[in-house]
């Protein structure tokens, strides 16, 4: 027969696909059970076996969360049972919030060069404004990332 690891991967993938289907079909009244099923699966398998599965799952969960928030089917504010279970799932699957913060982090990395060159120009041409320019440059690079961390 197939090696034990391959059977476990096959069983895991089948369970994951079923749980993802349930999540996709869920609404505000049933999403909690879908998140709980995903959390149980992630806990049983100590997270996701690959970055691709981690990213795929978190993108689907984040999209469902955003859709339900827009429809009023998610908890109001930052607290509530659905939000708490979502955060538990996120800690189990993506504890560093890589999927959620990848966009703002990429922008900060891409923006570093132009901001650095701009700061060098300010330092050479208008040294009195360097401190203000430095603060503005740092804020421009890191504000989206910080916003995502604090309010994402």
Average pLDDT in the 78-90 region? 91
Element (H, E) at 147: helix 130-151
Distance CA 95, CA 55 (A): 12
- Confirm whether pTM is higher than 0.75: yes
Residue 4 neighbours by CB distance under 10 Å: 8
SS3 at position 93: helix
pLDDT for 55-82, tens place per residue? 999 999 999 999 999 999 998 777 899 9
Distance CA 61, CA 22 (A): 11
pLDDT for 104-130, tens place per residue? 999 999 999 999 999 999 999 999 999
Angle at 62 between CA 58 and CA 63, to 5 degrees: 115
Asked if 63 and 20 touch (Cβ cutoff 8 Å), the reply is no
SS3 content of the chain, % helix, strand, coil (to 5): 80, 0, 20
Asked if 47 and 83 touch (Cβ cutoff 8 Å), the reply is no
* pLDDT attached to residue 65: 95
Angle at 139 between CA 137 and CA 145, to 5 degrees: 125
């Amino acid at each position: 027969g197939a090696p034990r690891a391959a059977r476990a991967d096959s069983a895991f993938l089948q369970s994951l696909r079923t749980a993802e289907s349930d999540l996709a079909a869920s609404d505000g009244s049933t999403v909690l059970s879908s998140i709980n099923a995903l959390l149980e699966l992630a806990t049983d398998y100590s997270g996701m076996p690959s970055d691709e599965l981690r990213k795929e799952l978190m993108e689907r969960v984040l999209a469902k969360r955003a859709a339900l928030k827009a429809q009023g089917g998610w908890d109001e504010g930052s607290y509530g049972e659905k939000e708490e279970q979502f955060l538990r799932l996120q800690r189990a699957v993506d504890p560093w919030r890589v999927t959620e913060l990848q966009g703002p982090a990429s922008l900060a990395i891409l923006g570093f060069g132009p901001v650095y060159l701009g700061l060098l120009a300010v330092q050479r041409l208008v040294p009195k404004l360097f401190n203000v320019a430095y603060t503005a440059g740092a804020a421009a690079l890191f504000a989206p990332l910080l916003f995502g961390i604090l309010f994402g």
